[in-house]
Amino acid sequence: MIKAAVIGGAGYTGGEMIRLLLQHPEVELTAVQSRSQSGQAVASVHKDLLGETDLEFQKEVPAAEVLFLCLGHGHSGDFIQQYEPNQETKVIDLSQDHRLQHSENNFIYGLPELNKPHIQQAQRVANPGCFATAIQLALLPLAQHDKLKQPVHVHAITGSTGAGVTPLTTTHFSWRQNNLSTYKAFQHQHLAEIRQSLQSASPSSSLEAIHFIPIRGDFTKGIFCTAYTALPGDLEEFQQIYRDYYRDHPFTWLSSQGISLKEVINTNKCILNLEYQQGNLLVTSIIDNLIKGASGQALQNMNLMFGLDETCGLKLKASGF
């Protein structure tokens, strides 16, 4: 059994990480660290875990074979510097602190559909962002075939859990209910890692501009993303490109029918759909922002790092109704 610990386990991604680790057949969750909730029962904070675990949050950093860093952005780098995990301990960071190539501490970018062989050999993995995951999976097959030569226009709507557990004006029920709004238009922080990945996948690295409009949605979980670009060709050709690219990736699927967000909620899947109209290819991409966009992908990375079946502990059913 792999001994695992969660660092910063009181938030949304921490809660999902705990839930997934508890039901993984090859993992023993030995500790959950949280300074803010130290001494409290894990199930008193994550009430959906009542009856699933007797663990309490602890203040000190535990020893483990793998650490999942579910800390706020900017804190994971500080954690690595302060505690310096030994070379035998694998680290998976769910924050944005180590996603870019110039980051320190030798982290591999943890998008399995892009970097699987490198992840399998890695000691430290930087888990991708949720928007970044949905958008990259929508565009990577086109990048690999050098077809992103025109600007790409992306609209993606996310649930309120994407903003974290700390209450904000824009996550308050009275504001979010029956409401929509854009934010960080053209300058979202995930754009840097998206460009980095697409450029690495493109033979000529001739990536054109990505115009990204993030949208706050009136729901709790999930990302519904549409991306389109001008592109000569036909639908059958593009569908074959996507099927070939994702043939060996068990969580990303191309649907020939229209897709809706409930099909992926509570799963580690990304489902894609293609439409071709008037010389434009439209790619729709859907994920659960806390699972494939965070904790589920982190567990997928752990499976790869320890030589387990990639789907181990992640055969989850969506609530499609």
Could you give the residue numbers annotated as active site?
130
Helix (H) or strand (E) holding 143: helix 130-144
Closest CA to 84 of 53, 99, 106: 106
CB 61, CB 91: distance < 8 Å:
no
Q: How far is CA 80 from CA 21, 54, 92, in A?
A: 22, 28, 11
Distance of alpha carbon 129 from alpha carbon 143, whole angstroms: 19
Closest CA to 304 of 80, 121, 91: 121
* Residues whose CB is less than 8 angstroms from the CB of residue 18 and which lie 6 or more positions away in sequence, other chains included: 6, 9, 29, 32, 42, 46, 49, 53
Residue labelled with tokens 């990945």: 197
CB 33, CB 82: distance < 8 Å:
no
